[in-house]
A = this chain, B = another copy of it.
Amino acid sequence: MKKHNFGAGPCILPQEVFKQAADAVIDFNGLSILEVSHRHKDYEAVMDEARNLVKQALNVPDDYEVLYLQGGATLGFTIAALNMMRDTKRAGYMNTGTWASGAIKEAKKAGIDVNVFASSEDKNFNYIPKDYTIPTDVDYIHFTSNNTIFGTQFKEFPKTDLPLVCDMSSDIFSQEINVADFDLIYAGAQKNLGPAGATLYIVKKSVLGKSTSTFMPSYMDLKIHAEKDSMFNTPPVFSVYVAMLNLRHLLANGGVKAMAARNKAKGDLLYNEIDSNPLFVGTTAVEDRSLMNVNFVLKDEAHKEAFDAAWKAAGIVGLNGHRSVGGYRASMYNALELESVQVLVDVMRDLANKHA
């Protein structure tokens, strides 16, 4: 029976990518991809392609570096703060959810005086703040483009002349972006890019080597990674290889523009059902609804048992909401088919027909 994976991440990737990845575990030019030296020319070609495909997919300008590191967005919080720290050692952060809060916490630990100039914590992060003043007396501005746990997404990015930094872990490659608006973008791979274990950095070259931090381990210095073509130390070989496969698949299928249209269609289908179905209600502000993570709850918990049994019987997995919100979360990353969303919608309608 076909599984419909609505999990929040690590998440679904194209079936073709899984097949190609499995093949390479057995045979990559005569060896397993798991036993190939990262210094072998065949693997250097993989790393080069994995970096170049990011540039193609997002139209990354020439004055940016694309790097693959390890440690997830969690280590990225610290790397961002250390690399962006300048004379004021202050930064402006927007607090729009659990991951944004984590970024703030780690920036403070890294020695940044954080100015949280906008927050949606007052309503359990169910909206994106809009009425705020961006500080000007800081080194950089940081935000989180999509909030995986609470299901909100920036439709317009903050506008500032200051260096702009974004954690795009959960919506990168889901839509077109203008990389030139940012000094630093970072993203854990395990949503729209590849398997867990790699973290993408897109950094403006002029940022490198300008930190005022007295603490800068080599691994956290993006300048060192850039100088070594993202091979400063052994990279997460397999994760980068699968990211490369997935980016090939993305570009062969219309790139992020086509993906954005597909994600819009999936979002429309599910949000329309949530809004028209008498049994369900969405949990986030309508104008800030994420196309990646759709949060909703039953109006009456009495239907929980029947609904849970029905979606599980339909082959749906990963639909339970995060403990911070409860209810349900349908994560609909790039690789999730419209057909899978239709399966979920059919289950919801069927429940309404029986119980409403």
Name A residues whose Cβ lies closer than 8 Å to a Cβ of B: 3, 5, 7-13, 18-19, 21-23, 25-26, 30-32, 34-38, 40, 69-75, 77-78, 105-106, 109-111, 188, 190, 195-198, 215-220, 232-239, 242, 317-318
Partner of A71, one of B13, B18, B219: B219
Complex: chain B residue closest to A105, CB-CB: B218
B22 touches A3 (CB 8 A): no
A8 CA to B75 CA, complexed, in Å? 28
Question: How far apart are A353's CB and chain B's nearest CB, in angstroms?
Answer: 28
A232 touches B74 (CB 8 A): yes
A198 CA to B5 CA, complexed, in Å? 25
Contacts of A36 in B (CB 8 A): 7, 10
For the complex with contacts A5-B35, A74-B232, A196-B236, 5 further pairs of A-B residues with Cβ separation under 8 Å are A9-B37, A38-B196, A71-B219, A74-B218, A190-B234
Partner of A239, one of B188, B218, B238, B318: B238
Contacts of A220 in B (CB 8 A): 78
A317 touches B31 (CB 8 A): yes
Q: How many copies of this chain?
A: 2
B37 touches A8 (CB 8 A): yes
Question: How far apart are A15's CB and chain B's nearest CB, in angstroms?
Answer: 8
Question: How far apart are A3's CB and chain B's nearest CB, in angstroms?
Answer: 6
User: Given A10-B234, A71-B70, A218-B109, is A21 in contact with B37 using a C-beta cutoff of 8 Å?
Assistant: no
Contacts of A11 in B (CB 8 A): 35, 37
B234 touches A106 (CB 8 A): no
A13 CA to B25 CA, complexed, in Å? 11
Contacts of A198 in B (CB 8 A): 197
Contacts of A197 in B (CB 8 A): 70, 197-198, 236-239
The winner among A5, A36, A74, A236 for most chain B CB atoms within 10 A is A236
A31 CA to B336 CA, complexed, in Å? 13
